Amino acid sequence: MSEIVLGVSGGIASYKAAELLRLFTESGHGVQVVPTPASLNFVGAATWEALSGRSVQTGVFDNVQDVPHVRIGQAADLVVVAPATANTLAKAAHGLADDLLTNTLLTARCPVVFAPAMHTEMWESLATQSNVETLRARGHIVLEPAVGRLTGADSGKGRLPAPAAIFAACLNILQGRAQDLIGKRVVVSAGGTREFLDPVRYLGNRSSGLQGYALAEAAVARGAQVTLVAANVSLPSPAGVDVVPVVSTRELRDAMVELAATADAVVMAAAPADFRPAEFVETKIKKTLDGQAPDLRLVENPDILFELVSSRSSKSPVVVGFAAETGDAGATVIEHARAKLARKGCDLLVVNDVSAGKAFGRDDNEAVILGADGSIDEVPLGPKIDLAHAVWDAVVHRLDEPGTA
């Protein structure tokens, strides 16, 4: 298994790193915890030693005969700093090395992941954002912090991502995936939209959002800056992803069009409703004594995928669509999908055969990835994260083509 360095900097979220450490060790990885001196005010060395089974030090002059400020980084397959405070990010960005962790960051030649945790104002400050951009430009992965309760009564963006989500992102990196999306901004949609008839009822679909979330997780592992537009999804947010919640197809459309303007790649994995009620009834629609159902008039929703393609500029994002198809007497699944690819004009179309309940709400998936250039890539049944990486493989290939972002 892999050798992991877990750096812990001095923030209140330090206690959550104990759960991350446990996830690593229970998966068989060797973990060397390197806390900063300030972090020991929150979680003591005894905790890290008990959970990791290894001695812990913070200074470069402890056990100096072993040259730890060099050896720890040299031996690592992955360095993850969780939490990464604004101070630690600043030191890393400027190459400062005044403790064992910052020395380790300078000597590591493996992937480095920072999981920030701080108050919203600190995260949004120009200094911190500049430091984050510097680290990302060097090839390091800086996860987006989560939104939620912070210290005291404050809430906002800056919360440490869930340890399980950080762990999942790190596992993807340890699998040796290429960091081929570093410096790229990608937008992924997930879930299914809802179109309300009245305050209680809505038109919707069976999309769980699992595949969209897997796409976001895989993109983070490959170094991308990821925004996930989530339509009615109840899954925990993937680590390092900026999540934008939406409800209706029109809300999804507005978010995707705005975000696509600055994206290098856009993946429409969500399942938007094709139609919505022409009128919304302000009170619950009641049953009638004569048993007559109300007449329901529908109007067509925006075609988001087509609009994303047609509104592209000359330096355009790669656009990927998803198609949930079933065959019929008129055509096969692939024939229907090819017609849709031509009609939508996107670069790639991921085709799911959803007959007999396939794909929806399951942890595995299989698909065919069709390219506008005539390519076809069959992805066999497997975890949805595998299909996600197959999609990004196809996207990366097209990112390098002339005329794309």
Choose the final residue of a domain: 114, 140, 174. Answer: 174
pLDDT at 403: 46
Q: Is the same domain home to 141 and 276?
A: no
Whether residue 179 lies inside any domain: the answer is no
Reported pTM: 0.80
* pLDDT bucket at 289, cuts 50 / 70 / 90: confident
* pLDDT bucket at 10, cuts 50 / 70 / 90: very high
Q: Calculate what percentage of the chain has a pLDDT beyond 70.
A: 95
Q: Is the same domain home to 170 and 190?
A: no
pLDDT at 233: 96
pLDDT at 195: 97
pLDDT at 356: 59
Given a cut of 70, whether residue 405 has pLDDT beyond it is: no
Give the residue, 91 or 352, on which the prediction is more confident: 91
Is 352 part of the annotated catalytic residue set? no
Please report the sign of the dihedral spanned by the C-alpha atoms of residue 35, residue 40, residue 46, residue 47. negative
Whether residue 404 lies inside any domain: the answer is no
- Count of structural domains within the chain: 2
Q: Which position among 41, 87, 131, 205 bears the catalytic label? A: 205
Q: Is the same domain home to 136 and 192?
A: no
Whether residue 91 lies inside any domain: the answer is yes
Q: Is the same domain home to 169 and 195?
A: no
The per-residue pLDDT for range 54-83, each reduced to its tens digit, is 999 887 767 766 666 788 988 899 999 999
Task: Give the chain as a 3 state SS string.
Answer: CCEEEEEECCCHHHHHHHHHHHHHHHCCCEEEEEECCHHHHCCCHHHHHHHHCCCCCCCCCCCHHHCHHHHHHHHCCEEEEEEECHHHHHHHHHCCCCCHHHHHHHHCCCCEEEEECCCHHHHHCHHHHHHHHHHHHCCCEECCCEEEECCCCCEEEEECCCHHHHHHHHHHHHCCCCCCCCCCEEEEEEEECCEECCCCCEECCCCCCHHHHHHHHHHHHCCCEEEEEEECCCCCCCCCEEEEEECCHHHHHHHHHHHHCCCCEEEECCECCCEEECCCCCCCCCCCCCCCCCCCCEEECCCHHHHHHHCCCCCECEEEEEEEECCCCCCCHHHHHHHHHHHHCCCEEEEEECHHHCCCCCCEEEEEEEECCCCEEEEEEEEHHHHHHHHHHHHHHHHCCCCEC
Which has the minimum average pLDDT: 24-33, 176-185, 273-282?
A: 176-185
Domain with residue 96: its CATH number is 3.40.50.1950
Q: The domain containing residue 94 runs over which residues? A: 3-174
Given a cut of 70, whether residue 23 has pLDDT beyond it is: yes
Cα→Cα distances 266→165, 254, 261, 309, Å: 22, 14, 10, 10
Give the residue, 67 or 253, on which the prediction is more confident: 253
The per-residue pLDDT for range 347-393, each reduced to its tens digit, is 999 998 877 555 566 778 899 999 999 999 999 999 999 999 999 99
Whether residue 405 lies inside any domain: the answer is no
Q: Is the same domain home to 258 and 391?
A: yes
